């Protein structure tokens, strides 16, 4: 019986673990340790005596991070660079998507490689000689170690990488506190999008997020579509965050690059007791990193393999970019990007100029609305009881409509009792989804009427006006699709607020919510959206001034997308 042993070299910070009793079948001899931490040739020679013995069922991880089994303090070494696994099938080395590569007998590896006795593994300045079938000859060594038993499973996986563009330049050009705060905000936003889309964040690598979606081969179309949608949402959210939170947006906008790849991989837990890590291994991961590195050459910030695009189907409209050569691969890889780069090119336009007085008045009026008993009550009910299947018609949509209705009315000088009635109508306009989706306008109007009667502070004329405003939000069917009615007076402000997204920078985010809620294909949703935009007219001067220009741009983008999709 044997264990994995390592000779003690304290100054090198070698990581070790506990003993185990499985037979040793591989011995790793470190011939040369990275010179960066060795101050003299003597120390390098001393490090060369490093010996590790691996038993069946063990893993051995190499990298710069302190929780590796062999820690290499060298900038050329990635935090988690490579892993060696030992099983009854043999000894295998995998590169963990490292930047500078893992080499076996002088050749860079891109897929798991079976090792044979005498093979030389090279990582930066470190060389490891592998011997198979050895047994321990040093049972009394002062330092004993054993890695965590292997727990890997073959799966289909979609790997997503989200990387901040030009992070080094941003770090050098702007205050470190500004960059750090924005990076933290961006990390949190990306993580939320990934989790909401059914994925998991695997790790943070500097300014990059690596996320995974995995399962059986039969499940690949579903989780790949989710991953692609998440990538598109990250692109949009990054632009919105830059415009709203990044102090230096106008001179150097905060941007990110997305890369996705789908294929077979090994996924599981590795590492020492108390320092276990969940990760994925294989060429699928390597290709994802290589795609991200080559995105600039194709002048795109969103790139995925053709296999990913095909599995995702019409989850997000995409077009092919041809084939590219990736380092370490014999054949070129076909790649794709978002059709018309929708989420990249859709504008993040600043709203129409608003003077400080109007902005302050809007904030004060909105705060007052949220304190209004009827409005606060229905917003709370929507937040607590609205079924989760309503992705678009969620409580957040009602909050946005209330905000925009108040803003538009104030923009055109409407205040007082009229503004209060408009706020009530906006807050109740989708409350019918709590009761009956098919007739939600009638149900919404009924709930508003009941609440206003119970309050006792409104005339029959005011209650009737709120009811008519809510009923006016129904989209009517026509030969060209569903259309919005024209409306005058206060109803026009509610209708314009209800469809404000078609003239705003978040249009494509909202459109994806509509598609997800309806379950329809993208082609159907895009066609209906284009029909709606082309036939639409604003009802109020405020909406025309604030939203028309962006609506025209969204219409042009939709038109180009549909033209490309029908080719």
Sign of CA dihedral 220, 224, 226, 227: positive
Nearest-CA neighbor of 234 among 244, 246, 242?
242
Residue 146 clears pLDDT 70, i.e. is over it: no
Give the pLDDT confidence score for residue 276 in this predicted structure.
44
How many CA within 13 A on the CB side of residue 4?
26
Tokens 């790849």 belong to 261
Task: Kindly state the tokens that stand for 134.
Answer: 């050895």
CA distance 505 to 494: 19
Q: Tell me which of 163-172, 436-445, 478-487 is least confident.
A: 478-487
The structure's pTM equals 0.49
> What percent of the chain stands above pLDDT 90?
28
The band of 297, judged by pLDDT with boundaries at 50, 70 and 90, is: confident
Q: Which two tokens stand for residue 404?
A: 């925009």
Residue 137 binned pLDDT confidence (cut-offs 50, 70, 90): very low
Confidence of residue 565 (pLDDT cuts 50, 70, 90): low
Reported as a single tens digit per residue, the pLDDT across 495-522 is: 999 999 999 877 877 887 787 788 877 7
What is the distance between the alpha carbons of residues 295 and 255, in angstroms, rounded to a whole number?
13
Alpha helices in 162-314 (DSSP H): 167-173, 176-196, 220-245, 283-294, 306-312
Q: What are phi and psi of 558, to 5 degrees?
A: -60, -40
What burial class does residue 231 get, using C-beta atoms within 10 Å of its C-beta: 0-12 exposed, 13-18 middle, 19+ buried? Answer: buried
- 190 vs 249, higher pLDDT: 190
More confident residue, 567 or 179: 179
Alpha-carbon distance 173 to 566, whole Å?
44
Mean pLDDT of 269-290: 68
Rounded Cα distance, 374 and 377, in Å: 5
Cα-Cα-Cα-Cα torsion 487, 488, 489, 492, nearest 10 degrees, comes to 40
- Please say whether the beta carbons of 271 and 153 come within 8 A: no
Rounded to whole angstroms, how far apart are CA atoms 187 and 200? 13
Q: Mean of the per-residue pLDDT values for the chain?
A: 78
Query: Rounded to the nearest 5°, which phi and psi values hold at 451?
Result: -65, -40
pLDDT above 70: residue 210: yes
Span 341-362, pLDDT tens digits: 444 444 333 344 456 678 888 8
Q: Supply the DSSP string of 350-376, one letter for each residue.
A: PPSP--HHHHHHHHHHHHHHHHSHHHH
Among 110, 115, 106, CA closest to 86: 115
pLDDT of residue 21: 44
User: Cα–Cα distance between 553 and 347 in angstroms, integer?
Assistant: 8
Is 90 exceeded by the pLDDT of residue 117?
Answer: no
Rounded Cα gap, residues 53 and 84, in angstroms: 12
Q: Which helix (H) or strand (E) holds 333?
A: strand 333-338
Strand partners, 71: 63
SS3 state of residue 284: helix
């Amino acid at each position: 019986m044997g264990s994995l042993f390592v000779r003690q070299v304290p100054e090198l910070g070698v990581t070790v673990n506990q003993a185990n009793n499985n037979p040793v079948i591989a011995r790793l001899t470190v011939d040369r340790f990275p010179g960066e931490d060795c101050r003299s040739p003597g120390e390098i020679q001393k490090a060369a005596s490093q010996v590790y013995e691996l038993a069946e069922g063990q893993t051995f991880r190499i990298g710069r991070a302190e929780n590796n089994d062999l820690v290499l303090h060298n900038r050329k070494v990635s935090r988690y660079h490579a892993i060696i696994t030992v099983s009854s099938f043999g000894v295998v080395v995998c590169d963990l998507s490292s930047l500078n590569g893992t080499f076996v007998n002088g050749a860079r590896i891109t897929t798991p490689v079976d090792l044979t006795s005498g093979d030389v593994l090279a990582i930066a300045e470190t060389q490891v000689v592998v011997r198979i079938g050895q047994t321990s000859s040093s049972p009394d060594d002062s330092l004993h170690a054993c890695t965590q038993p292997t727990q890997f499973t073959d799966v289909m996986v979609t790997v997503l990488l989200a990387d901040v563009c030009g992070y080094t330049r941003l770090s050098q050009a702007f205050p470190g506190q500004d960059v750090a705060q924005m990076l933290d905000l961006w990390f949190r936003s990306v993580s939320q999008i990934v989790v909401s889309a059914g994925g998991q964040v695997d790790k943070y690598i500097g300014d990059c997020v690596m996320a995974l979606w995995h399962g059986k081969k039969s499940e690949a179309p579903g989780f790949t579509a989710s991953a692609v949608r998440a990538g598109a949402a990250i692109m949009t959210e990054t632009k919105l965050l830059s415009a709203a939170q990044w102090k230096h947006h106008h001179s150097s906008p905060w941007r990110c690059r997305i890369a996705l790849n789908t294929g077979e991989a090994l996924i599981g837990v590795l590492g020492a007791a108390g320092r276990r890590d969940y990760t994925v291994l294989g060429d699928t991961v390597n290709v994802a990193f290589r795609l991200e590195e080559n995105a600039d050459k194709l002048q795109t910030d969103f790139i995925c393999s053709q296999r990913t695009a095909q599995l995702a189907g019409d989850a997000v409209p995409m077009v092919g970019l041809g084939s590219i050569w990736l380092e370490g691969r014999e054949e070129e890889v076909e790649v794709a990007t978002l059709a018309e780069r929708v989420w990249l090119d859709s504008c993040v336009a600043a709203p129409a100029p608003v003077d400080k007085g109007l902005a302050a008045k809007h904030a004060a009026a909105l705060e007052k609305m949220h304190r209004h008993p009827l409005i606060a009550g229905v917003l709370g009910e929507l937040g607590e009881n609205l079924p989760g299947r309503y992705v678009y018609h969620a409580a957040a949509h009602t909050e946005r409509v209330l905000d925009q209705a108040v803003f538009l009315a104030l923009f055109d000088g409407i205040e007082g009792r009229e503004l209060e009635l408009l706020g009530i109508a906006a807050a109740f306009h989708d409350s019918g989804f709590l009761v009956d989706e098919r007739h939600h306008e009638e149900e919404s109007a009924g709930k508003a009427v009941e609440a206003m009667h119970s309050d006792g502070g409104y005339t029959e004329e005011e209650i009737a006006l709120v009811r008519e405003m809510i009923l006016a939000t129904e989209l009517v069917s026509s030969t060209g699709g569903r259309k919005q009615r024209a409306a005058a007076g206060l109803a026009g402000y509610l209708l314009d607020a209800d469809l404000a997204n078609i003239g705003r920078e978040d249009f494509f985010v909202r459109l994806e919510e509509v598609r997800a809620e309806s379950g329809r294909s993208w082609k159907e949703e895009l066609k209906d959206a284009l029909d709606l935009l082309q036939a639409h007219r604003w009802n109020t001067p405020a909406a025309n001034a604030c939203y028309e220009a962006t609506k025209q741009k969204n219409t042009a983008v939709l038109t180009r997308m549909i033209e490309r999709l029908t080719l």
